[in-house]
Amino acid sequence: MRPPGRRGVPPVPPALLLLLLPLLVVLLGAPRGVGAGTGASVPAELRVRVRLPDGQVTEESLQADSDADSISLELRKPDGTLVSFTADFKKNVKIFRALILGELEKGQSQFQALCFVTRLQHNEIIPSEAMAKLRQKNPRAVRQAEVRGLEYLHMDIAVNFSQGGLLSPHLRNVCAEAADAIYTRQEDVQFWLEQGVDSSVFEALPQASEQVSLPRCGQVGDRGKPCLCHYGLSLAWYPCMLKYCHSRDRPAPYKCGIRSCQKSYSFSFSVPQRQLCLWDEDPLGW
Ligand SMILES: *[C@@H]1O[C@H](CO)[C@@H](O)[C@H](O)[C@H]1NC(C)=O
């Protein structure tokens, strides 16, 4: 008699096949679902380690949204201030925002927000679609900008927050905490008015006419007195120019990299009360 063994080896039970089948379908289906989720409208983000003008290292985040045609940048200063910058290429507007931490032990509120809005010039920063394609080979590298600059801007006009969307759709989000402290300049206003922006966005600052003679806040002892306030910030690193290379194999120069810039800004603006400008203690303003 043969042992019953061989004959008795059962085939793979059909029930097991039925269990394996959905598993394969799920695995095959998953990548397709993920792919469908990454539409072109998701902003591209780049995180870079950068050296600040004072030598300290911080992390900076850069985002490009090629659909909205805008670039934004965010970094934290060593004193805790959160600085953000938005370039709106569609409206020729750039927005700087500073969230300044108050010193609670000095009776200051938790933070104070400031917004400065100025005209975005051509070629100040690379186009958003080029920015969206930037990748870095070594994310741990500390980046130091190639080109440095400093600009002084005297802000003599206030922006009405509730009308701000007429100037740039980004203003509502970026400057919400700074609704009473959004500043711009007469010369930028002139440009935007020529572009068709409604004049209801802009309001002369109350002390505009006597601003020149206002004392600097750093020299005013009385916290209730009006004065001229200064605030400085830096964009530690940003791609400001595209680099073009030449090759024998190509008929025309082609994009092969970027040049990076660091830019510092010193804003001055009038405040109705010295206490709205408590950081301005150093007579040199920084
Ligand atoms: C801002 O504009 C709105 C609408 O024009 C107006 O009602 C409001 O008074 C303005 N705000 C200030 C602070 O002037």
Q: Which atom of ligand 1 is nearest to the CA of 161?
A: 1
Pocket residue to mutate for ligand 1, from 163, 171, 180, 203, most atoms within 8 A of Cβ: 163
Indicate whether 151 pLDDT > 50.
Answer: yes
The average pLDDT across 60-87 equals 94
Q: How far is residue 246's CA from residue 254's CA, in Å, rounded to a whole number?
A: 7
Choose from 56-60, 159-163, 275-279 the range with maximum mean pLDDT: 159-163
Helix, strand, coil fractions of the chain, as percent rounded to 5: 25, 35, 35
Protein residue closest via CA to atom 1 of ligand 1: 160
pLDDT for 37 equals: 34
CA of 67 to the centre of ligand 1 (A): 31
pLDDT digits (tens, 9 = 90+) for 1-38: 444 444 444 444 444 433 333 332 322 222 332 233 34
pLDDT category at 281 given cuts 50, 70, 90 is confident
Q: Is 95 helix (H, G, I), strand (E, B) or coil?
A: strand
CA of 65 to the centre of ligand 1 (A): 31
Protein residue closest via CA to atom 11 of ligand 1: 160
Considering only residues 150 and 209, tell me which one the structure prediction assigns the higher pLDDT. 150
Alpha-carbon torsion angle 112, 96, 133, 150, nearest 10: -120
Residue 153's DSSP bridge partners are: 267
Pocket residue to mutate for ligand 1, from 160, 171, 197, 205, most atoms within 8 A of Cβ: 160
Considering only residues 125 and 77, tell me which one the structure prediction assigns the higher pLDDT. 125
Q: How far is residue 35's CA from residue 44's CA, in Å, rounded to a whole number?
A: 16
CA of 133 to the centre of ligand 1 (A): 41
Residues in contact with ligand 1 by the CB-under-6-Å rule are: 160, 162-163, 200, 203
The average pLDDT across 216-243 equals 92
CA of 162 to the centre of ligand 1 (A): 7
Percent of the chain with pLDDT over 90: 58
pLDDT for 33 equals: 28
Considering only residues 77 and 24, tell me which one the structure prediction assigns the higher pLDDT. 77
Q: Which atom of ligand 1 is nearest to the CA of 163?
A: 2
Indicate whether 64 pLDDT > 70.
Answer: yes
Indicate whether 248 pLDDT > 50.
Answer: yes
pLDDT category at 105 given cuts 50, 70, 90 is low
Mean pLDDT of the residues in the chain: 83
pLDDT digits (tens, 9 = 90+) for 178-214: 999 999 999 999 999 999 999 999 998 876 565 568 8
Pocket residue to mutate for ligand 1, from 157, 159, 162, 171, most atoms within 8 A of Cβ: 162
Q: Is 79 helix (H, G, I), strand (E, B) or coil?
A: coil
